[in-house]
A and B are shown apart, each in its own frame.
Chain A
Amino acid sequence: MNSGQTFVVPRELPAAWDAVTEALVSPGPSGPHSEESLSRALALLCSHSLGQCVEGWLLETMQVRLTSAVAPEFWAGLEQPENELEERDRARILLGAFRTLLGRLEPFLGGLEQLGAWQDEGPGGLCGPGALGLRERAFSVIRAILLFSPAAALQERVLEFYSRTFAVHMSREGEGQEGPPGADRGLCPGCATPPQHCWCQDALEELRELSHILSRLQLLERVSSEAVTSILHRLIEQRMERRCRGEYESSFLSDFQEWLERVLGWLSRVFVSEAGVGVPCPSVAQEGMAPEGVVGGEAGQPGSAVLQRWRCHMHQFFCRIYVNMRIEELFSIIRDFPESKPAIEDLKFCLDRTSQRQQLLTSLKSAFETRLLHPGVHTSDIITVYISAIKALRELDPSMVILQVACQPIPCTSAATREDTVRQIVASLTGDAEGCSDLANELSRADPVTLETQDSEDEGSDPEEWTPDPTDALTDKTGSKRRSSDIISLLVSIYGSKEIFIDEYRTVLADRLLHQLNYNTAREIRNVELLKLRFGESHMHYCEVMLKDVADSRRINTNIREEESRLAEEEQPPLALSAMILSSEFWPPLKEEKMELPPLVSRAMEAYTQRYEKLKAMRTLSWKPHLGSVTLDIELGDRTLTNLSVSPIHAAIILHFQDKSSWSLEELSEVLGVPQEVVRRKLALWQQQGVLREEAGGRYAVLETGASRERPERGVLLIDSDEEGDSNTTTQSEQREEKLQLFWAYIQAMLTNLDTMTLERIHSMLRMFVATGPVVTEMDVNELQAFLQRKVRDHQLIVSAGVYRLPKSNH
């Protein structure tokens, strides 16, 4: 082509141009011009290098038409209706607007097709982006112009229409949409109109047409996505609220899975054209329920990719909404744990798919703080919830990081501030606490994790199976090894050491042995054996000796009984005395109380001691007169109380009344060697029983006859209420106080010699010098500091610049 030719416009060129452009904008290939004339004209245009211009002209024309006429018409069509119109009409208008839009654009689309086809064939050197590229360009133009400023009205209409079709679809699918507004008024569940006006079928038809139009204009994603997303979100949420909130005892995963598949059926209607025209929608839904959402068979279909994407979105929505709800409810779920296991499993499934661990942690932690860790909650409840939490979170997160992080405040607050925690745990561990058999069961589990081996490297596990800790794990020096999922080890670790725990157990055991006094130790032996498996043989040594004492005592008793039975009638002891003989070094310190027993009893004890001394050379007995129990009958003038089981002091009191029927408080106090206050308290039991009464002048006398308040029940165990919680052993805090007092002597001596010392120095010195005995001498720096602070407050110690010294006057 040379430049000179361009100025010579051939005669036939305008005609060819007209022919071509007319063919492009008039619909259908069968225009006024025949195939060959067109291709001739095209060839002519191309030969004058006007091929490019055809494409430019077409796009330009379309753009002009769109901006000037089509788009305003479309928006006007959409806006035109008033609010009074029925929903159904609004749907129709929406569809109508799109119909018109398609009608207006149809010629251009046809022309584009044509031009694309020509370009692909390339007759006469017509070059261009080809059919595909051309279409893309055109649709970009359409989208750009049409949706440059989409009105809210469009979104609203689309949302409304889709919601309706969703309802219709789901009602068709047999979902029933339980509780739609108006279902009880005989309205169609789908379109919520009276049956005679039902337009369900129409709605589906309209949906179908709309989808076609949108997909033809490649506006489907653009127009529908937002609406579909919000519908799905809202509906999943609604359904979840309705079905799952507060329900922890069944799994909702498969239920929702099914439901989501049905929803997918609706989606395939919305995206019907892309999913392949004419495919009956439910067929997609019939595919596998695999939670991962891989529908294998559909992969080849056009548009199944779109559905697939929606399906993933839906699962994502579902998981997120579910997790949100459960996180809110997690505390309740934990509280109900063994029953709420399905909820935990669901949550675990969903949590793995969303990244909401952090949210869960913070929420759970604050739930614990607000609902559990305040002074109004009973210790046993805290422990129960903690145990549930351990169990539940063990299911949820085998790495136990959640437990460690979220439950961190539990041990800190409860153990530090409540003295009865250890006792509660021990009691439930040995199956004493009512309604709390969890721990007892846990204890007797088949494969106990010994606390010993946990500290060492666990070489048993396969290194291949190692997984790193989740990122939210606490970065503590102990690392993941310490995070055991074993409930007992966790509970024990609350207290920092096994020693405290075992010490407490020893106290509980002592209490129990001293309370029942029937030498029946089968259960205790079992418990000790089980604890031995966990805490190691050496730690339970003291308990074993205690149990052995019980067995030995029984043997000695039988021995002495036998000996006594061989005696002559008149030498028979006046009292059937049996004894629990303790190895004092191995029992927890017992409360020392002085009490004088009546001569009858003390004589019997002396005789018993003598026989014991005969039996065991060079050993003697030291009686604890206030401990034990007495079974007695009381014969009064007109009635008899039989098989009363009372404490020694009660028995001693009533024995004194046998000799003399009226006593004053002072006299009793003197003869018993017990403070008056105590005597008065103990007398209350006999007053309650109607055996004694208080007379004028503070004297007490026997009520021989006519007890008005005679109790019908007999032979009950009579322990008055103030004694019920009383244990025979000194309490933990008393023991600690004693121990600290021992330390105080050391500290004073050290400070006398060294003048000034820092807290750390004192602590390490104490650790070095104070030998460990049966009493726990373990003490951490904080405890020591608190103790020293107390001494400072009492002016027994001076602290300045971090060093302690004794006040001058003490020197």
Chain B
Amino acid sequence: MKVKIKQWSGVASWLWVANDENCGICRMSFNGCCPDCKVPGDDCPLVWGQCSHCFHMHCILKWLNSQQVQQQCPMCRQEWKFKE
């Protein structure tokens, strides 16, 4: 017997490769989106800091903009620098 598979349509879900499940700022799931966004994924990406913490990009930008003096990671209080 020979089985020839013409087409295999699978189902998968995507997820961020992150060390946490929820964004530390908005507490929403990384696989969801930040409160301001409607669509997850490309439209609401994650960013990583050099301290290895990651957040929704929109969340951390909002946070950084609100910081007057020094821009720190909200989790570890180290100076925030984007990874790469």
Instruction: Please give the residue numbers on chain A whose beta carbons come within 8 Å of chain B beta carbons, in ascending order.
Output: 514, 517, 541, 544-545, 548, 552, 575-587, 590, 601, 604-605, 608-609, 612, 616, 618-625, 627-637, 643, 648, 651, 654-655, 657-658, 661, 691, 702, 704
Question: Which single member of B7, B14, B39, B42 contacts A576 (CB below 8 Å)?
Answer: B7
In the assembled complex, the Cα of A590 lies from the Cα of B10 at a distance in Å of: 14
Instruction: Please give the residue numbers on chain B whose beta carbons come within 8 Å of chain A beta carbons, in ascending order.
Output: 1-18, 29, 31-32, 38-42, 46, 48
Total residue contacts A-B, CB cutoff 8 A: 146
A618 touches B9 (CB 8 A): no
Residues of A close to B31: CB separation below 8 A: 583-585
Q: With A552-B41, A585-B29 in contact, is A621–B5 under 8 Å at CB?
A: no
Q: With A541-B38, A586-B32, A635-B1 in contact, is A581–B7 under 8 Å at CB?
A: no
* CB closest residue in chain A, given B32: A585
Question: Which single member of A581, A609, A624, A654 contacts B3 (CB below 8 Å)?
Answer: A654
In the assembled complex, the Cα of A648 lies from the Cα of B8 at a distance in Å of: 8
A545 touches B38 (CB 8 A): yes
A580 touches B5 (CB 8 A): no
Most buried by A among B5, B6, B7, B31: B5
B3 touches A627 (CB 8 A): no
B14 touches A616 (CB 8 A): yes
In the assembled complex, the Cα of A657 lies from the Cα of B36 at a distance in Å of: 52
A651 touches B38 (CB 8 A): no
B17 touches A622 (CB 8 A): no
Residues of B close to A581: CB separation below 8 A: 12-14
Question: Which single member of A552, A575, A618, A624 contacts B46 (CB below 8 Å)?
Answer: A618
Interface of B is mostly: strand
Question: Which single member of B1, B7, B9, B10 contacts A661 (CB below 8 Å)?
Answer: B1
In the assembled complex, the Cα of A636 lies from the Cα of B1 at a distance in Å of: 5
Question: Which single member of A580, A635, A637 contacts B11 (CB below 8 Å)?
Answer: A580
A576 touches B6 (CB 8 A): yes
Residues of A close to B8: CB separation below 8 A: 575-578, 601, 604, 628, 630-631, 648, 651
Residues of A close to B15: CB separation below 8 A: 584, 619-622
- Pick 25 A–B contacts, CB within 8 A, sort by A: A514-B11, A517-B11, A544-B39, A576-B5, A577-B10, A578-B8, A579-B9, A583-B41, A586-B40, A604-B8, A609-B12, A612-B14, A618-B16, A620-B15, A621-B14, A622-B15, A623-B12, A624-B10, A629-B9, A631-B5, A634-B2, A634-B3, A635-B1, A635-B4, A643-B6
A623 touches B10 (CB 8 A): yes
Most buried by A among B10, B31, B41: B10
Additional A-B contact list (13), CB under 8 Å, known A576-B8, A628-B11: A544-B38, A548-B39, A577-B8, A579-B12, A616-B42, A618-B46, A622-B13, A632-B5, A634-B3, A635-B2, A635-B3, A643-B6, A658-B1
* CB closest residue in chain A, given B29: A585
In the assembled complex, the Cα of A301 lies from the Cα of B7 at a distance in Å of: 92
Residues of A close to B7: CB separation below 8 A: 576, 578, 630-631
Question: Which single member of A548, A583, A636 contacts B13 (CB below 8 Å)?
Answer: A583
* CB of B17, distance to nearest CB on chain A (Å): 5
Residues of A close to B4: CB separation below 8 A: 632-635
Most buried by B among A604, A625, A631, A655: A631
In the assembled complex, the Cα of A601 lies from the Cα of B39 at a distance in Å of: 31
A583 touches B10 (CB 8 A): no
